[in-house]
Amino acid sequence: MDIAEKQNIPEVVLEREMHKTDTIVLTFHGDPHLLNEPVLRVRITGPAESVLSSVTGSDRIDASKTEKDRVASGDRVFPVFRQNAMIYGIWSQYVSHHGCACCSLTSLLAAYCPHYRDLRPNETIEIVERKHFPEEIWQKNYQKDLSGQMPVTLYGISRILSAEGIENEYVGAFQDRKALSDIKDHLRKGLPVVIETSRIRRGRRIGLPVSVNDRRYAGSYHTMILLGLDRKGHVFFTDSATRDWAGERQRLKKDDLVSLIQYMFPRKRKNARNLYYDHRWNTGGYIKISRSGD
């Protein structure tokens, strides 16, 4: 199958609505069996983020709002790609081994930029990265053997999003408690967050740091998009990788945000501007996406 060809890509829906006046929540609608497809469209529908986010206190979204105000630009469609689907032409091996960041970047560009609606990961590598990164840096990364070809860093993703008119804030260094509050507040506004996880879970036991290499969210390091919260506070997130614990629910997973935070890691080098990964100290953190694009 060539994903460049027109095809009927399966779709599921996350319905957006206001909950308890200050939190935008998502409700899943669709066939759970579709969540293991190699390419899946996740449509977030309902009143636009800008309309819902403006509702506070006793304000309500009701019939007094015009239809245009309530639903125009409310839908965002995030295509989610399985890394090892081997449908990305000459880039299939790279995407299979290192393509999580590329897949996440592709999903964001497709959701926020109409001219990238049908973008695929191989095109992100060949066209978008080359458009926004110096040619010599792009060539240096992809002329290496497969094992040496590295994914785009969160800084690199943030730089491309900004250049394409998608407002975002890259948070490199963070402390867990503050990051948990910051990310949760952002998701409550109906806005996504891009995160990077490692294979190691961090935590504390009897006051001492402890780490567990259980690879729940990453084989080594892994990039994903948090799309929003459900009514119980669990987070929906995209994932280009397949995890045994998730069963059939692979491309769109749901888990506890506290658990995800334990696998995230802060960027150690404050002024690092690496576009491609070379050391964990030069990447990490998270990206908050604002309302823009279209």
Provide the percentage of residues in the chain whose pLDDT is more than 70.
Answer: 84
Distances (CA, A) of 124 to 79, 90, 279: 13, 13, 23
Q: What is the pLDDT of residue 136?
A: 98
Q: Out of 27-36, 126-135, 178-187, 208-217, pick the least confident.
A: 208-217
**What's the distance, CA 252 to chain centroid?**
11
Residue-wise pLDDT for 188-242, tens only, equals: 999 999 999 988 887 754 444 556 777 787 878 899 999 999 999 999 999 999 8
Alpha-helical runs (H) found in 15-66 = 49-53
Locate 197 and state its tokens.
């996880």
Q: Return the domain boundaries, the chain.
A: 11-289
- What span, in angstroms and rounded, lies between the C-alpha atoms of 124 and 132? 11
Q: What is the pLDDT of residue 8?
A: 84
- Given pLDDT bands bounded at 50, 70 and 90, which one contains residue 51? low
Residue-wise pLDDT for 68-113, tens only, equals: 333 334 699 999 999 999 999 999 999 999 999 999 999 999 999 9
Q: Exposed, middle or buried: residue 2 (CB in 10 Å: 0-12, 13-18, 19+)? A: exposed
pTM: 0.88
Strands 39-45 and 11-19: parallel
Provide the percentage of residues in the chain whose pLDDT is more than 90.
Answer: 68
Q: Exposed, middle or buried: residue 5 (CB in 10 Å: 0-12, 13-18, 19+)? A: exposed
Comparing 123 with 5, the larger pLDDT belongs to 123
Q: What is the pLDDT of residue 282?
A: 83
- Rounded to the nearest integer, the mean pLDDT of the chain is 86
Contact 76, 44 (CB under 8 A): yes
Amino acid type, 93: Q
Comparing 219 with 293, the larger pLDDT belongs to 219
| Residue 124 DSSP one-character state | I
Contact 191, 161 (CB under 8 A): no
**What's the distance, CA 134 to chain centroid?**
24
- What span, in angstroms and rounded, lies between the C-alpha atoms of 107 and 118? 10
Mean of pLDDT values over 41-51: 80
- What span, in angstroms and rounded, lies between the C-alpha atoms of 292 and 290? 6
Mean of pLDDT values over 170-196: 95
